[in-house]
Chains A and B, each alone.
Chain A
Amino acid sequence: MLQICSLDVSVDNKKLFENINLTINDNEIHVFMGPNGVGKSSIANVIIGNPNYKVKGKLIYNNEDITNLSIEERSKKGIYLISQTPIAIEGVTNAEMLRLAVSEKNKKPVNIFDFNKELESICDSLELDKSFIHKDINVGASGGERKKIELMHMWMLKPSLVILDEIDSGLDVDATKLVAKSIKEYQAKYKASIIIITHNSALINTFDNYFVHLFENSSLVKSGDKKLAKEILSKGFKELSNSFVISENDENE
């Protein structure tokens, strides 16, 4: 699915990451963790092809080098990001945007009846008011509603690699459960790969198995399974970092 090979990332001549190597296979869930400001969102933006980031190294997606592809080309290949703070767009409704995106993806006009039926059913499952379908994108929507609207887009566009950048931030307990359930159902239905960027356990605890990657000091410092997430969440980043230093010193001795 996705291979990140020797990736260096910088923005405005400031180095963010160096030599990141990571493989995400089909139907796998990977959790990116790390202290605030370490640049986890930047990696998400690099994967979708945000032109503001300068990259060295390679990104291989489904055996194809996508390092130099645009956002548009990557999204057409099924890479999709739900950002931490989805923007609002005045004058463009969710229905208008999705009709265009779905018709471009399928290379044929949408059947309006089927399209509306599918959208309404998605709204029901997300407990999202159907009126949002014909409202401007994220305009007048609360933080929680925006996350649900972005999930509505995901269900309609059916991407194969979904990056969720702190989708659980600002959600109440019930909304977090509902969002987690929706993501789990999506992953199961479409066998999608999911990257979750989070600081909380509520969302990742929904999944039985997942991989965890800890980012610190411009590097990917440790990878593991759900045990690593538990360790991070119980000890905190600082204590865990110190333990890495101690163990490295022990090795040197």
Chain B
Amino acid sequence: MNKLLVSDVIDLKSGSYVLECQSKNLDINIDGDVTIYLLNEKMDNISINVKDNNILHLYMFNNELNNDLKVIINQNNNSKVYYNESYLNSHDRKLIIDNNMLGSNNESIISIRNISNKGDSSIIVNVLVDKKTINNIALESIKGINNGGYVHVEPNIICLSNEVSANHLTTIGSLDPDSINYLVSKGISLTNAQELLLNGFIYSNMDEYIKKNNGGE
């Protein structure tokens, strides 16, 4: 695991990186099989360019930093992007992701989990599959829990090509009462049961590094 202090622009080759950002705007060029961790980094704009034949795994966790964020991800040919972001907000927050598939044979899976403790959380995900492209796969999985605040989701997939596989899943709701009753029936207090479920939800798309370094386990 490489820990990097980064400013405005960085080129990353194959490996795993924990980025500590000095600037609120970051351009990242992906060249290889790259895993990036952004843990409680207060960013405004992130722009990611994934070169041909390369893979990006991104894990971003944000605990009530409440800053608006715009992410632009450009894919060209034969690339894969696995974008995983989880966050809790206690004020209004807007997240916009633009994922542009400009070439062919790309894959993109965008997974977002949000618990809105207070305020409005707006999640807008735009996946664009450009014209004259083939064999692109785009999946969006966005789940939110209204835990005192409100989650609003716009999952947009714009396909300008006929040869694309695209799908999106969006759920917004409260904690499942059956799950709470199940845990409470095992002798767990209501408060701990709710906390267990919220933790389980918010870390469900994160990997072990984030869980271990952010109190998830």
Whether the Cβ atoms of B182 and A87 lie closer than 8 Å is yes
- Given the complex of chains A and B, what is the CA–CA distance between A66 and B185 in angstroms? 15
Whether the Cβ atoms of B196 and A50 lie closer than 8 Å is no
Contact digits for B170-212, partner A, Cβ 8 Å, 1 yes 0 no? 0000000011011111111110100011011101100000000
Which of B186, B188, B189, B200 is within 8 Å of A90, CB to CB? B200
Contacts of A96 in B (CB 8 A): 196, 200, 217
- Given the complex of chains A and B, what is the CA–CA distance between A98 and B181 in angstroms? 15
Q: Interface-forming stretch among A100-108, A172-180, A201-209, A231-239?
A: A100-108
Is A151 in the interface zone, CB < 8 Å from B? no
Whether the Cβ atoms of A89 and B179 lie closer than 8 Å is yes
CB distance from A242 to the nearest CB of B (A): 38
Which of A51, A89, A100 is within 8 Å of B182, CB to CB? A89
Contacts of A98 in B (CB 8 A): 186
- Given the complex of chains A and B, what is the CA–CA distance between A208 and B9 in angstroms? 75
Known contacts A91-B197, A96-B196, A104-B192, A81 near B204 by CB under 8 Å: no
- Given the complex of chains A and B, what is the CA–CA distance between A50 and B204 in angstroms? 28
Is A226 in the interface zone, CB < 8 Å from B? no
Prevailing SS type, chain B contact patch: helix
Contacting residues of chain A (84-98) with chain B, CB-CB under 8 angstroms: 86-87, 89-92, 96-98
Whether the Cβ atoms of A75 and B184 lie closer than 8 Å is yes
Which of B184, B187, B189, B200 is within 8 Å of A136, CB to CB? B200
Task: Specify the chain B residue showing the minimal Cβ separation from A70.
Answer: B184
Contacting residues of chain A (50-89) with chain B, CB-CB under 8 angstroms: 50-51, 70-72, 75-76, 80-81, 86-87, 89
- Given the complex of chains A and B, what is the CA–CA distance between A33 and B145 in angstroms? 41
Task: Specify the chain B residue showing the minimal Cβ separation from A80.
Answer: B185
Whether the Cβ atoms of B187 and A104 lie closer than 8 Å is yes
Task: Specify the chain B residue showing the minimal Cβ separation from A77.
Answer: B187
Contacts of B197 in A (CB 8 A): 89, 91-92
- Given the complex of chains A and B, what is the CA–CA distance between A101 and B204 in angstroms? 21
Whether the Cβ atoms of B182 and A105 lie closer than 8 Å is no
Contacting residues of chain B (139-157) with chain A, CB-CB under 8 angstroms: none
Task: Specify the chain A residue showing the minimal Cβ separation from B183.
Answer: A97
Contacts of B185 in A (CB 8 A): 48, 71-72, 75, 80-81
- Given the complex of chains A and B, what is the CA–CA distance between A41 and B132 in angstroms? 58
Whether the Cβ atoms of A101 and B181 lie closer than 8 Å is no
Contacts of B200 in A (CB 8 A): 89-92, 96, 136
Contacts of A71 in B (CB 8 A): 181, 184-185
Most interface-central of A48, A89, A153 (chain B CB within 10 A): A89
Whether the Cβ atoms of A97 and B188 lie closer than 8 Å is yes
Contacts of A136 in B (CB 8 A): 200
Contacts of B217 in A (CB 8 A): 96
- Given the complex of chains A and B, what is the CA–CA distance between A157 and B183 in angstroms? 12
CB distance from A41 to the nearest CB of B (A): 14
Contacting residues of chain B (22-67) with chain A, CB-CB under 8 angstroms: none
Whether the Cβ atoms of A75 and B181 lie closer than 8 Å is no
CB distance from A109 to the nearest CB of B (A): 13
Task: Specify the chain B residue showing the minimal Cβ separation from A49.
Answer: B185
Whether the Cβ atoms of B189 and A72 lie closer than 8 Å is yes
Contacts of B196 in A (CB 8 A): 92, 96-97, 100
Contacts of A72 in B (CB 8 A): 184-185, 187-190
List, sorted by A's number, 24 A–B pairs whose CB atoms are closer than 8 Å: A71-B184, A71-B185, A72-B184, A72-B189, A72-B190, A75-B184, A75-B185, A76-B187, A81-B185, A86-B182, A87-B179, A89-B182, A90-B200, A90-B201, A91-B200, A91-B201, A92-B183, A92-B196, A97-B183, A100-B188, A101-B187, A104-B187, A104-B192, A157-B187
10 shortest interchain CB distances as A-B pairs: A91-B200, A92-B200, A91-B204, A75-B187, A72-B184, A101-B186, A101-B187, A71-B184, A71-B185, A101-B188
